[in-house]
Amino acid sequence: VQTDPLRPPKNTVPSKRKRVISRILNDHEICENPSGSFSIRHNPSGEVMHSVNDPSSEAEALYINQSKLIVKLREDSEEPLRLWDVGLGGATNAMAAIRAYEMLHSSGKERLRPLHIVSFENNLDSLKLALKHPNLLPHIRHPGPSTLVEFKEWNSKKSSLQWTLIEGDFIETMKSAPNPDVIYFDPYSAKTNTSLWSLECFQNIHEKCRDQSIELYTYSSSTAVRAALLGAGFFVARGVGTGPKSETTVALSQLALEKVFSFSLLSSQWLERWKKSHTKFPSDLPDSAHLDFQARILNHPQFAN
């Protein structure tokens, strides 16, 4: 091949191919919602975390706003507000709480309570997958999640904000965890994660925290879950609707009930529906205990009037 001596050939550098990062990690996959936002799906069960609305918006409505987190952070107390994040998943709920705290702190005008978030998780794949796709899951654009995965704890350098990860079976690991003031209860559904929606699980939580004010918020509104919470000793109320659900659920200890007046407790009408339900008993309750459990619900002080 002849070349023009006045025009030497250009150095050709092979173009770099853009590396494609897989949206799948073991059993988890990032999927697009009808709204155009992205969520994480658990492929074996088909369950999608925050399946309809933008995940951050749903976390804010269901957990941050409903629990009045900002009001609690403004309370005049040196004691940390302890938040249990049960079912860390892709860290959507925990990061919503962190963003709320950081927004208040950034104003420099308010004195805030310290916030200690304790996240419980038995499989970090969904969080590790989220960390690979900050372009699709913008809530993850923060130093906290990656530090949490590596060191099991993240402490803000700018504020009194601490985030701790506890791995393993929640029913066991919760026993040694610091008692919460608020619980965001967001594991996969009872179909996929049966033990975390059991009477045993809710009884363990109630027993651990029975002498303090505790509020539990969850996306489920199922009859069996609400009955299990009542049977464990909580007072149970209707929560705000979000995504495809017209209602969610709030559970309160006796002391929390005396402090919180903004929720509509399940009424005698719900009790009548429960009596006729085919899912009236928790999944872990043996047949021999059904009569005792039924008496516990019927005699619950929530339905005394």
Strand 215-218 and strand 182-185: the pairing is: parallel
C-alpha 106: how far from chain center: 25
DSSP for 104-153 reads: HHHTS------EEEEEEES--HHHHHHHT-TTT-GGG-SHHHHHHHHHSE
- Find out whether 140 and 95 touch, Cβ atoms under 8 Å: yes
Residue type, 158: K
> What integer is the mean pLDDT of 182-199?
95
Q: Which residue has the higher pLDDT, 8 or 209?
A: 209
pLDDT in tens, 240-262: 998 777 899 999 999 999 887 67
Paired with 67 in beta bridges are none
* Most confident listed range (10-14, 104-108, 150-154): 150-154
Q: Would you state the torsion angle of the CA atoms of residues 147, 149, 154, 156, taken in this order, to the nearest 10 degrees?
A: 40
pLDDT over 70 at 11, yes or no: no
Asked if pLDDT for residue 289 goes beyond 90, the answer is yes
CB atoms under 10 Å from CB of 244, counted, come to 9
- pLDDT above 60: residue 190: yes
> Sorting pLDDT into bands at 50, 70 and 90, what band is 17?
low
Q: Which two tokens stand for residue 39?
A: 């969520």
Helix (H, G, I), strand (E, B) or coil at 286: coil
State pLDDT tens for residues 69-112: 999 999 999 999 999 999 999 999 999 999 999 999 998 778 89
State how far the Cα of 33 lies from the Cα of 214, in Å rounded to an integer.
33
Antiparallel, parallel or unpaired: β 115-121 and 161-167 = parallel
Check residue 35 and give its pLDDT.
81
What's the confidence (pLDDT) of residue 2? 55
Alpha-carbon gap, residue 21 to 11, rounded angstroms:
30
Dihedral angle sign, alpha carbons of residues 111, 174, 29, 155:
positive
Whether the Cβ atoms of residue 183 and residue 215 lie closer than 8 Å to each other: yes
- Domains of the chain: residue spans and CATH: 51-303 (3.40.50.150)
**Residue 18 or residue 154, greater confidence:** 154
Measured distance CA(201)–CA(120) in Å, rounded: 14
Q: Residue 213 corresponds to which tokens in the numbers above?
A: 């004010």
Quote the CA–CA distance of 197 and 188 in Å, as a whole number: 9
- The three-class DSSP label of residue 204 is helix
DSSP 8-state class, residue 98: H
Confidence of residue 12 (pLDDT cuts 50, 70, 90): low
Compute how many other C-beta atoms are within 10 angstroms of the C-beta atom of residue 181: 20
Q: Mean pLDDT in the chain?
A: 92
Is 8 a residue whose pLDDT tops 70?
A: no
pLDDT at 34: 83
Higher pLDDT, 103 or 16: 103
